Amino acid sequence: MSEKVYSAEDIEKNKVIAALAYAIFFLPLIVDKDSEYGKFHANQGLLLLIVSLVGNAILTISIIGILLVPVLNVILLVLFFMGALNAYNGQAKELPVIGKYTLLK
């Protein structure tokens, strides 16, 4: 997990919006398009959403997978809170495993 550095002004201005990006990934892109800090957390929120949708869709195909859906969802919930807390605390840490990918530039 690496941590990126953004300006203190950008972080202070957008940390609440960045934390909300884990629930509504596009919010920072609408509220403040120029915020690199907001874009970082919007990207992390989008990755979390994609993993959630794809993971749940794939796991529901088989009986064993259906039993694993709650496990996946607990892991995703932990990642959700990790990301939101990091954003609110002014940190730009990538989420474990999925955070290294960049979809939004």
- The pLDDT tens digits of the residues spanning 13-45 come to 999 999 999 999 999 999 999 999 999 999 999
- pTM of structure: 0.90
Give me the torsion for CA of 27, 33, 35, 41, rounded to 10°: 30
User: What pLDDT is recorded for position 1?
Assistant: 57
User: What pLDDT is recorded for position 105?
Assistant: 81
Strand partners, 3: 93
Residue type, 23: A
- The pLDDT tens digits of the residues spanning 49-101 come to 999 999 999 999 989 889 999 999 999 999 999 999 999 999 999 999 998 99
DSSP code for 24: S
Distance CA 80, CA 97 (A): 13
